[in-house]
Amino acid sequence: MALFPRLFRRSPTVVAIGGGTGASGLLRGLKEHTDKLTAIVTVADDGGSSGRLRQEFGMLPPGDVRNCLAALSDSGSVLERLFQHRFEEGDLKGHAFGNIFLAALTQVTGDFVSAVKEANRVLSVRGRVLPATGVKVSLVAEHSDGTKTTGESLVGRVDKPVVRLHLRPADVKAAPEVVDAIMQADLVVLGPGSLYTSVIPNLLIGEVREALLATPALVGYVCNVMTQRGETSGFPASRHVRAIMDHASPELLDFVLVSTTAIPDKLLAAYRAEGSVPVAADMAELSKLPGQVRIIAADLASADNFVRHDSARLADVLLETYRELRKNRA
């Protein structure tokens, strides 16, 4: 057992920025390599259980934070399953227990940021989870036809290309500890996760964006394995990256990871029926990106019953990339 603390002492300080299932999958892989881990989580969700609690109690949406807390919890599988348990009947139908827990903790502590800090302690989280901001925000998407869509839950449903994303209000502050976490990191990872509803919203917080541009850490982006109908229909990897640069800076990223995993035909057919296809690793276009971005193409996905990043493989490749690029910087 003594070996693991020694390994962790030599491990990098990592910040993961995003939300949704992509973020929680990444965290499960990374926590096996380091306990110096911070998840900075988007709080723009307004749909499902999170949206109902947001509307009823005036709180920040807990769903993405809940997923990350569960992923990093060291309290055992039973507590994690309890936190993720979703009620199937009655007035609580559709709500996850963890969302209700965070709603109650928000009332006890007085605010959502304090509730999340306390939840980190209660769940014995390896590392910590921070909401990106303590302010209630809404997403506003501008589309190529000049129309606008307001609300995270609607942005992904509108089958129109997004050309620009905004937060309302626009001048929100980062939550306490967020900027310091980014500035003290060795490695910052954006994604994987929904491009316009999980990743980019964090970059719209001015203090977060400025910290990412100022940090001495290596900053990387993990591109999604599959496109999302409406939100990124037809997007190759290069278009994902350009969208991030357009909302932050061409100088933001040091590296990008793209998956080249072959997806079985049977699974492909099921995803195509839902309007989703593999994100093309368009290496020629990726090589034209501004700045000095290193592109790493690798077998990163798992394609058993669902197509997703393999948590262990992704963490391994991220840390290998970090070590190689850090050595080149020295």
* Structural domain spans, the chain: 3-42+174-329, 46-126
Q: Is 314 within 8 Å of 222 (Cβ atoms)?
A: yes
Residue 318 pLDDT: 98
Query: pLDDT digits over 56-95, tens only?
Result: 999 999 999 999 999 999 866 777 888 889 999 988 899 9
- Across the range 244-254, mean pLDDT stands at 98
Measure the CA–CA gap between 313 and 319, rounded to whole angstroms. Answer: 10
Superfamily of domain 3-42+174-329: CofD-like domains (3.40.50.10680)
C-alpha distance from residue 146 to each of 162, 170, 244 (Å): 10, 20, 20
- Across the range 18-26, mean pLDDT stands at 93
Say whether pLDDT at 265 is over 70.
Answer: yes
Query: pLDDT digits over 28-63, tens only?
Result: 999 999 999 999 999 999 989 999 999 999 999 999
How much of the chain is helix, strand and coil, in % rounded to 5?
45, 20, 40
303 or 180, which is more confident = 180
Query: pLDDT digits over 149-178, tens only?
Result: 999 999 978 888 899 999 999 999 999 999
